[in-house]
């Protein structure tokens, strides 16, 4: 999905006339109002959240200290919200066991905020079906690195961070049921098992091989000049 400017459409915005309006003592502008001043206190759901560099850095620090070498931080306030969104800081040695979201089907959107990632999808037998690299703007000059992906529900997948300090934003439809959130692939090693490290190393080798092929394709593409 691409967000781009809309051309050929003329939009009109009508501003209320200052002459026919009143400014409340609290400073809130209410056209033509003769009622009591507007309550300018922020409703908790209307306050603006900002995600500063220090916000991301603190999340990365938590991931570095975690035994799982990753840490998420929810933006949504409850599992009941219709849009579930969170930041996830992931280090390169973190193993995210292949899984899918099919019990309660949910498409999943992943956007790189910092660093570089590889999304790996699998077929039913555990063979790699596709590898997509995506990263922040710093890594986009190569021409074969996206800024994010949208993963269809029911797709077996895993994710690895290719550089330290990588952070992504994840968005899925709600509500969220922790008991039905994911189904682990039966052909993949369990997290924390003796086979997990070797499995991750194999994923890295596959990503590196795919990157070499993609780079070669870019170099071999004829010029449009």
β 156-161/116-122 pair status: antiparallel
Residue 81: predicted pLDDT = 76
Residue 141: predicted pLDDT = 66
Residue 139: predicted pLDDT = 83
Q: Please tell me what DSSP assigns to residue 218.
A: H
Instruction: Provide the Cα torsion 197, 201, 207, 209; round to 10°.
Output: -160
How far, in Å, CA of 119 to CA of 87, rounded? 16
Describe the chain by its helix, strand, coil percentages, rounded to 5: 20, 30, 50
Domains, the chain, with CATH or none: 53-219 (2.60.120.10)
User: Would you call 134 exposed, middle or buried from its count of C-beta atoms within 10 A (0-12, 13-18, 19+)?
Assistant: buried
Tens digits of per-residue pLDDT, 167-183?
Answer: 999 998 776 666 667 89
Contact 184, 99 (CB under 8 A): yes
How far, in Å, CA of 85 to CA of 110, rounded? 10
Chain centre distance of CA 22: 44
Mean pLDDT, 10 residues at a time, over the chain (225 residues)?
33 39 40 42 62 95 97 83 88 96 87 96 97 89 80 95 96 72 92 95 94 58 42
């Amino acid at each position: 999905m691409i967000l781009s400017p809309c051309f050929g459409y003329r939009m009109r915005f009508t501003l209320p006339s200052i002459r026919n309006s009143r400014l409340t003592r609290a400073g809130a502008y209410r056209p033509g109002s003769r009622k009591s001043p507007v309550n300018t206190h922020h409703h908790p759901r209307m306050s603006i959240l900002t995600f500063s560099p220090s916000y991301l850095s603190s999340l990365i620090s938590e991931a570095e200290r975690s035994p799982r070498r990753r840490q998420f931080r929810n933006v949504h306030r409850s599992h009941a919200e219709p849009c579930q969104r969170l930041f996830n800081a992931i280090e390169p040695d973190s193993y995210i066991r292949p899984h899918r979201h099919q019990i309660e089907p949910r498409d999943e959107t992943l956007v790189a905020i910092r660093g570089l990632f590889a999304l790996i999808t699998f077929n039913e037998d555990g063979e790699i079906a596709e590898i997509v690299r995506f990263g922040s703007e710093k890594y986009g000059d190569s021409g074969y690195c996206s800024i994010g992906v949208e993963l269809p529900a029911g797709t077996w997948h895993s994710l690895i961070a290719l550089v330290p300090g990588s952070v992504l934003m994840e968005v899925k439809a709600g509500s969220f049921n922790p008991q039905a959130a994911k189904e682990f692939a039966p052909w993949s090693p369990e997290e924390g098992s003796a086979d997990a490290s070797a499995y991750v190393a194999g994923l890295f080798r596959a990503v590196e091989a795919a990157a070499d092929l993609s780079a070669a394709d870019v170099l071999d593409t004829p010029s449009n000049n």
